[in-house]
């Protein structure tokens, strides 16, 4: 199973996302979505599991949880924006969700792909929307296969806007 991992779109769904996510089976959105039509557009690619982030309005908060847990290909996956931890780190989110095998978070706009405790894959795909903090926009891909650890990669998106 191939997962597209995205966060911090803030209302901007870059055209490159459609190419990177072309063959994904499921999409995980780590919050700060923007308007609900972002989820509709992503849902045209594959099923979406999403959470709200700290900048999302009540229209999104009424539709999405703060934390989502889903089982995909035998892996327990937790998705959260991470703002409830102040500045989220892989260690903080793993401590909060000790049963998860894969944890996706956002908020910092800083891409991270790491192992915590040697068994938990933690990914922050970076910010996919408008550029912030002089960081390039990015998303992630996770590949799941029962019985082996998840494989993942961070994918920079071509600059769409110059700020």
Domains of the chain (ranges, CATH numbers): 2-156 (3.60.21.10)
User: Would you say residue 67 has pLDDT above 60?
Assistant: yes
| Residue-averaged pLDDT of the chain | 92
| DSSP secondary structure code for residue 136 in this structure | P
Place of tokens 């979505």: 33
Q: 139 pLDDT band (50/70/90 cuts)?
A: very high
Share of residues in the chain with pLDDT > 90 (%) = 80
Residues 111-139 have a mean pLDDT of: 84
pLDDT at residue 158, as a whole number: 62
pLDDT of residue 160 exceeding 60: no
Q: How far apart are CA 117 and CA 107, in angstroms?
A: 22
pLDDT given at position 19:
95
- CA torsion sign for 66, 70, 76, 79 is negative
Q: Is the pLDDT of residue 39 over 50?
A: yes
Give the mean model confidence (pLDDT) for residues 16-31.
97
Q: For residue 163, what pLDDT is reported?
A: 44
Q: Which is nearest to 131 in space by CA: 158, 152, 100, 149? A: 158
DSSP 51: -
Residues 94, 103: Cα–Cα separation, whole Å: 7
Judge whether residue 161 has pLDDT over 60.
no
pLDDT at 128: 84
- Band of the pLDDT at 159, cuts 50, 70, 90? low
Residue 132: band (very low, low, confident or very high) from pLDDT cuts 50, 70, 90 = confident
């Amino acid at each position: 199973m191939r997962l597209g991992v995205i966060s911090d779109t803030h209302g901007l769904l870059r055209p490159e996302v459609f190419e990177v996510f072309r063959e994904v089976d499921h999409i995980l959105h780590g919050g700060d979505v923007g308007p609900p039509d972002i989820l509709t557009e992503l849902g045209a690619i594959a099923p979406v599991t999403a959470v709200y982030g700290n900048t999302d309005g009540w229209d999104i908060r009424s539709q999405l949880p703060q934390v989502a847990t889903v089982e995909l290909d035998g892996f327990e996956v937790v998705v959260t924006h991470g703002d409830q931890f102040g500045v989220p780190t892989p260690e903080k989110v793993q401590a909060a969700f000790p049963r998860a095998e894969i944890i996706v978070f956002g908020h910092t706009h800083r891409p991270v792909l790491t192992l915590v405790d040697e068994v938990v894959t933690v990914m922050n795909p970076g910010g996919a929307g408008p550029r912030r903090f002089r960081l390039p926009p990015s998303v992630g891909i996770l590949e799941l296969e029962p019985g082996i650890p998840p494989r993942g990669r961070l994918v920079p998106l071509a600059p769409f806007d110059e700020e």
